[in-house]
Amino acid sequence: RGDLLELKPENFDRALNINLRGTVFLSQAVAKAMLATPATVARSIITITSASAEMASPERADYCVSKAGLSMWVKNLALRLAPEKIGVFEVRPGIIRTDMTAGVSAKYDALIEGGLVPAKRWGEAADIGAVVAALASGKFGFSTGSVIDVDGALSVPRL
Is 159 part of any domain? no
User: What percent of the chain lies above the pLDDT cut of 70?
Assistant: 100
CATH of the domain at 27: 3.40.50.720
Q: In the predicted model, what is the mean pLDDT of the chain?
A: 97
Q: Give the helix/strand (H/E) hosting 86.
A: strand 86-93
Is residue 55 scored above 90 in pLDDT?
A: yes
Is 13 part of any domain? yes
Is 8 part of any domain? yes
Is 104 part of any domain? yes
Give yes or no for a contact between 53 and 94, defined as CB atoms under 8 angstroms apart.
no
Q: Domain total for the chain?
A: 1
Phi/psi of residue 67, each to 5°? -75, -35
Cα–Cα distance for residue pair 143/67, rounded to 1 Å? 22
Cα–Cα distance for residue pair 112/3, rounded to 1 Å? 24
Residue 15 is part of which domain span? Answer: 4-150
pTM of this structure:
0.94
pLDDT on residue 1:
76
Cα–Cα distance for residue pair 86/155, rounded to 1 Å? 27
Best CA proximity match to 153, nearest among 115, 98, 97:
115
Beta bridge partners of 86: 43
